[in-house]
Structures are given as structure tokens and as C-alpha cells.
Amino acid sequence: MLSQWIFVIILTAVMLAFCLWMSHRYSQLNHAKKALERQVEDLSKKLEYSNSLRQKITMMIAHDLQSPLHFLNVLSEHVSRFAANNQLSEVKAGTEEIKKATANIHAFVKEVNLWARSQHENFQLAQHSFPFAELVAELQQFFGEMLWLNNNVLIVDYPHDVFVYTHRDILKAILRNLIDNANKHTRSGTIRLTFTQSECGALLTVSDNGGGMLSSDLQKIRRRLANPMLDAPVEATSRLGYQLMGDLAHTLGYKLDLASIKGEGTSVSITGLVCRSSLITELHSTEVVGLCQPD
């Protein structure tokens, strides 16, 4: 009888130990399953974001290369005609313009690369202080011929001694896209780049007296600009340029405000800029060199 009880106790202990092992093993497997599910979810999100980013890059290239490639095509036709007529001086001038156009396309490709890098969460936002006048001069040179093709004039109004503290290339990309957008939708008109300062802060505005946009399109773009998201998908029915500019502005902590009336023109304002004087730039010149990273 005693041996039976001992057997029962041993059997019970063995079963209890087996149940505890099974419970522990189940807990381990369940934990591993949840960890695997999290990994799959993270990989799915990364894959979805990667696909969205690739779509944006593809659409951005198709969108922003239209103007410089069209201009390059026009130049090539002119040079070909001049060469056929043995107008060597015009051929030389035309090839110089082609050289400038290809340089502009190269600059644009660098901007695409910069934008793609800025869309990653671990992007290092290197900021420094620089004279706004230098940026204006580069933009005026970049758009000289493109504005001429559409018979447009670019008027710039800004304090010539103002220094801006930001990521220079990203700000340049935003302004380049805004001016390019204005030039595309304006014929024989005026495009203005205005920089003003007040107690409320600095304000950058790019405006035109071109075709403007419908109220429905305006509201759609405003909604997108008001809710910038790093992983937001491309809206094929909306104007791509504003979506990309919204991404870049969001990276810098800027806010874009859009106003437009059909047939009267469009105005885009940028708020959130930080200005630094030339004195501060000189005092922090060593720090600036440390902050800047070459592309």
C-alpha cells in the first residue's frame, strides 16, 4: 500500500513537473511568436515605406526634370539650326547654354539624393548660418533661361545683410521647387521672391500672377501641407511638387501656407525660419565647420 502511494506521489510530481515544463515552454514559444510577429510587422512597415519612398523618388524625377529637359531640347534644336547655317558664334553661345543646362540637371539630381536622405528617420540635419544673398544669386542664375522661355520676370526683395540659419541645400531645394512651380504656371508674368522680418519672425514668400488653381485643388494641397507625415503616400491626384516641398519643409520644422485664386495667381509663404547675423556667424565659425557635412 505504501509503495502504491509512493508511486502515485512520484507520478504526480513527474506530471506536475511536466506540466510546469510545458507551461514554461509554451510561454517561451508564445513570447518568441510575438517577437517574430513584431519583426514581421516592422519589416512590413519598412518595406511599405521603402516602396513609398521609391515611388516618390520616381515621380519627383519625372516631375522636376520636365522643365530643364525641355529647355535642353530647345537649345539643342537652336544649336543644330545654327550649325547648319554655319553661324559659329551662335553655336558657341548655344553650347555654353547647354553646358549650363546640364549643370543645372546635375544640381537637381543632387537635390533628389538630398531629399531621399532627408526622408529617413536617422537623417542628420546639419544646419549652419549663411548669407541669404548667396542663395538668391544661385537661384537667379539657375532660372535665368527658364524664365526667359516663358517670358517671365523674377523680382527679388530681401534685406541684403540677412543671414539664415538652416540646412542650406534643403532650403534651396524648397525655393527652387516653388519658383519652378510658379514659372510653369505663369506666362508673360511676374514671379516674386520676398523675404521680410517682423516681431512675428521671418517670412519667405514666393508669389506669381499666373493661372492659379481651383478651390478644390487648393483645399487638397492645404490639407496635405497641414498634416505632413514622413511615411505619407504620394497622392497621384494632387500636385506632386507641393507634396515634396511639404516633406522638405517638415524636415526643417517650417510651415508652408498656400493661397491661390484661379486666373489671378498663387502665393506660398514659409514660416519658421531662424535668422542669424553676420556677427554671430563669425563668432561661431568653428562650430559651423563642425556642423556642416559634405554631400
Check whether 93 has a pLDDT greater than 70.
yes
At which residue does the C-alpha cell 518595406 appear? 47
Residue 224 backbone phi and psi in degrees, to 5: -65, -40
List the grid coordinates of 285.
565659425
**Maximum CA extent, the chain:** 122
Give a yes or no: residue 145 inside a domain. yes
Q: How far apart are CA 71 and CA 88, in angstroms?
A: 21
Length of the chain: 295
pTM of the predicted protein model = 0.65
| Count of domains for the chain | 1
- Whether 48 has a pLDDT exceeding 60, the answer reads yes
pLDDT of the residue at 201: 87
Q: Give a yes or no: residue 242 inside a domain.
A: yes
Cβ contact 101:267 at 8 Å: no
Q: Does 6 fall in a domain?
A: no
27 occurs within a structural domain? no
**Average of per-residue pLDDT values in the chain:** 80
pLDDT in tens, 137-187: 999 988 887 898 899 999 999 998 899 999 998 899 899 889 988 998 999
Comparison of pLDDT for 110 and 160, the residue scoring more: 160
Q: Is residue 17 part of a domain?
A: no
Residues 269 and 204 sit within 8 Å (Cβ to Cβ) = yes
Within-domain flag for 79 = no
Residue 252, domain CATH: 3.30.565.10
**Residue 178: CB partners within 8 Å, gap ≥ 6?**
206, 245, 268
Question: For the chain, what is the HEC assignment?
Answer: CHHHHHHHHHHHHHHHHHHHHHHHHHHHHHHHHHHHHHHHHHHHHHHHHHHHHHHHHHHHHHHHCHHHHHHHHHHHHHHHHHHHCCCHHHHHHHHHHHHHHHHHHHHHHHHHHHHHHHCCCCCCCCCEEEEHHHHHHHHHHHHHHHHHHCCCEEEEECCCCCEEEECHHHHHHHHHHHHHHHHHCCCCCEEEEEEEEECCEEEEEEEECCCCCCHHHHHHHHHHHHCCCCCCCCCCCCCHHHHHHHHHHHHHCCEEEEEEECCCEEEEEEECCEECCHHHHHHCHHHHHHHCCCC
Burial of 272 (0-12, 13-18, 19+ CB in 10 A): middle
Query: Residue 183: which domain range?
Result: 126-291
In a domain, 146, yes or no: yes
Q: What is the pLDDT of residue 287?
A: 32
Residue 39 placed within a domain:
no
Residue-wise pLDDT tens digits, 225-258: 887 655 555 555 455 668 778 888 988 999 999 9
